[in-house]
């Protein structure tokens, strides 16, 4: 987790992290394809029935390396430079069927550039990887994403969906509330700070009765707010337990301040990683509130039921579709439109990634042309990966011809 982010919508080892995602995705593949069949039809006319191997004219297994390239384009804060498919590292090796599940999700709410392709994306969901690659070469043009100024190499970080144990009622062990938006939220901007919510009678009165559930650790609550969503295993009053999702429902409109940076400025830490922050709180329990109050921003949530199908995917991102572990990224929407397929390449001490992903989310800390936040999934392993992921990044958008 990048503690400088306030995100809404990541593994104890490289091998575990990279095997977790295919298992999750394969479980939901058939159902996700069926959902895509229904969703995309409303955006594009249904072509005559055809099998997945009925590819567009010119779609062969060969790379498209002939002919002139399109001129560069400026997209918001970025410059897109057309390249040959051969420039994309690992293009021949990626397991595209995993990304196709995310693409089907994007087809539930496609942008105008990609809506005409959704019927073909749908039919290709059961095609072979070589057929999918050939279709991409025929239909799409890769563009290298560059900043308008500065170095071409960017930054990749990660985020995830926490899983926390919680209780409906406050108890000796579960004392930290997670709130729905207060009724007065729209009438006061910015709303009360985190410290005021804990200390002012007026703020406490406005929050009374808005508690969704209680967790044991205030840092876990802060983590949930930074990620913007999560899952709770809730102990109900009748003794039963069920898992629900908490989705982002608003903020108090206060500025975000990193508690890690606060600790560094205090000289309290040299390691501002999440494990380092947690260790500091254990050693300094009397200063935990002071640390938490250094970040005035608070996130409010809404509770959502979690079906078996929902459990295979993450929360809805800014595009409005569920995120796919390992195949969804958050981007700067001024550089890459939502729903755009993106080729991602990042090498570092944690993991090497060369794969197709979909731009389906954003975040206030995700700023710049070559900047992405990688959705790693749900739970502890994903959180471990996301918390340590910070390495160089290159991006290519795949845009319709």
Mean per-residue pLDDT over the chain, rounded: 85
Lowest mean pLDDT among 8-17, 231-240, 369-378: 8-17
- pLDDT, residue 280, reads 95
| Residues 6+ positions from 19 with CB-CB distance below 8 Å | none
- pLDDT, residue 253, reads 96
Tell me how far apart the alpha carbons of residues 344 and 99 are, in angstroms, rounded to a whole number: 12
User: Average of pLDDT values for 8-37?
Assistant: 36
- pLDDT, residue 51, reads 41
Give the Cβ contact number of residue 242 at 10 Å.
Answer: 11
pTM of the entire predicted model: 0.77
Q: Is 231 helix (H, G, I), strand (E, B) or coil?
A: strand
Q: Are strands 140-147 and 78-82 parallel, antiparallel or unpaired?
A: antiparallel
- pLDDT, residue 387, reads 85
pLDDT tens for residues 81-111? 999 999 999 999 999 999 999 999 999 999 9
**Taking the mean position of all CA atoms in its chain, how far away is CA 78?**
21
Q: Which helix (H) or strand (E) holds 204?
A: helix 201-207
Instruction: Characterize 101-122 residue by residue with b for buried, 16 or more Cβ atoms within 10 angstroms of its Cβ, and e for exposed.
Output: bbbbbbbbbbeeebbebbbbbb
Structure tokens at 73: 């384009």
Confidence of residue 365 (pLDDT cuts 50, 70, 90): confident
Nearest to 219 by CA among 367, 383, 377, 382: 383
Lowest mean pLDDT among 126-130, 236-240, 370-374: 236-240
**Is pLDDT at 54 greater than 80 in this prediction?**
no
Structure tokens at 15: 């091998």
Q: Which helix (H) or strand (E) holds 227?
A: helix 218-227
- pLDDT, residue 49, reads 36
User: Average of pLDDT values for 271-291?
Assistant: 91
Cβ contact 345:90 at 8 Å: yes
* Number of helical (H) and strand (E) elements in the chain, helices listed first: 12, 15
Cα 272 to Cα 7, 91, 223, 259, 374, distances in angstroms: 18, 36, 14, 9, 20
- pLDDT, residue 63, reads 52
Cβ contact 103:361 at 8 Å: no
Tell me how far apart the alpha carbons of residues 344 and 358 are, in angstroms, rounded to a whole number: 10
**Is pLDDT at 10 greater than 70 in this prediction?**
no
- pLDDT, residue 239, reads 79
User: Average of pLDDT values for 168-197?
Assistant: 96
Q: Return the CATH fold of 14-158+315-400.
A: Barwin-like endoglucanases (2.40.40)
Domain regions of the chain by residue span: 14-158+315-400, 164-309
User: Average of pLDDT values for 304-318?
Assistant: 90
**Is pLDDT at 16 greater than 60 in this prediction?**
no
User: Average of pLDDT values for 120-136?
Assistant: 96
- pLDDT, residue 271, reads 81
Q: Give percent of the chain above pLDDT 70.
A: 84
| Alpha carbon distance, N-terminus to C-terminus of the chain | 36
- pLDDT, residue 2, reads 44
- pLDDT, residue 14, reads 34
Beta-bridge mates of residue 394? 345
Phi-psi domain of 379 (left: phi exceeds 0; alpha: psi -120 through 50; beta: other): left
Lowest mean pLDDT among 13-27, 121-135, 194-208: 13-27
DSSP 8-state symbol, 395: E
CATH of domain 164-309: 2.40.240.50
Confidence of residue 5 (pLDDT cuts 50, 70, 90): very low
Confidence of residue 3 (pLDDT cuts 50, 70, 90): very low
Lowest mean pLDDT among 32-46, 151-165, 229-243, 279-293: 32-46
């Amino acid at each position: 987790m990048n503690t400088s982010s306030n995100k809404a919508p990541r593994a104890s080892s490289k091998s575990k992290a990279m095997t977790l995602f295919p298992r999750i995705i394969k479980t939901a593949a058939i159902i996700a394809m069926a959902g895509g069949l229904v969703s995309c039809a409303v955006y594009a006319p249904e072509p005559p029935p055809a099998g997945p191997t009925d590819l567009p004219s010119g779609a062969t297994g060969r790379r498209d390396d002939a002919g002139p390239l399109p001129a560069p384009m400026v997209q918001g804060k970025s410059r897109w430079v057309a390249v040959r498919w051969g420039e994309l590292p690992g293009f021949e090796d990626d397991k595209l069927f995993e990304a196709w599940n995310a693409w089907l999700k994007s087809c539930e709410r496609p942008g105008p550039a990609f809506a005409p392709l959704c019927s073909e994306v749908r039919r290709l969901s059961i095609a072979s990887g070589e057929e999918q690659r050939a279709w991409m070469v025929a239909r799409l043009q890769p563009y290298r994403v560059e900043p308008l100024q500065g170095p071409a190499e960017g930054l990749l970080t990660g985020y995830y969906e926490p899983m926390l144990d919680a209780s409906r009622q406050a108890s000796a062990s579960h004392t930290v509330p997670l709130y729905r938006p207060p009724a007065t939220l729209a009438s006061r901007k910015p709303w009360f700070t985190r410290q005021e919510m804990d200390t002012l009678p007026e703020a406490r009165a406005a929050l009374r009765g808005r508690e969704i559930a209680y967790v044991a650790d205030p840092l876990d609550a802060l983590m949930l707010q930074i990620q913007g969503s999560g899952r709770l295993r809730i102990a109900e009053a009748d003794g039963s337990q069920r898992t629900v999702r908490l989705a982002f429902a608003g903020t108090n409109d206060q500025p975000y301040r990193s508690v890690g940076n606060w600790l560094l400025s205090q000289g309290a830490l040299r390691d501002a990683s999440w494990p380092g922050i947690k260790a500091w709180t254990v050693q300094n329990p009397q200063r935990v509130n002071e640390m938490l109050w250094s970040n005035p921003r608070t996130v409010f949530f809404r509770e959502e039921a979690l079906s078996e199908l929902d459990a295979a995917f993450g929360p809805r991102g800014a595009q409005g579709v569920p995120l796919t572990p390992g195949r969804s990224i958050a981007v700067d929407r001024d550089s890459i439109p939502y729903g755009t397929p993106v080729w991602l390449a990042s090498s570092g001490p944690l993991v090497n990634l060369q794969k197709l992903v979909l731009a389906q989310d954003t975040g206030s800390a995700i700023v710049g042309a070559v900047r992405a936040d990688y959705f790693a999934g749900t739970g502890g392993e994903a959180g471990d990966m996301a918390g340590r992921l910070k390495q160089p990044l290159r991006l290519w958008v795949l845009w319709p011809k």
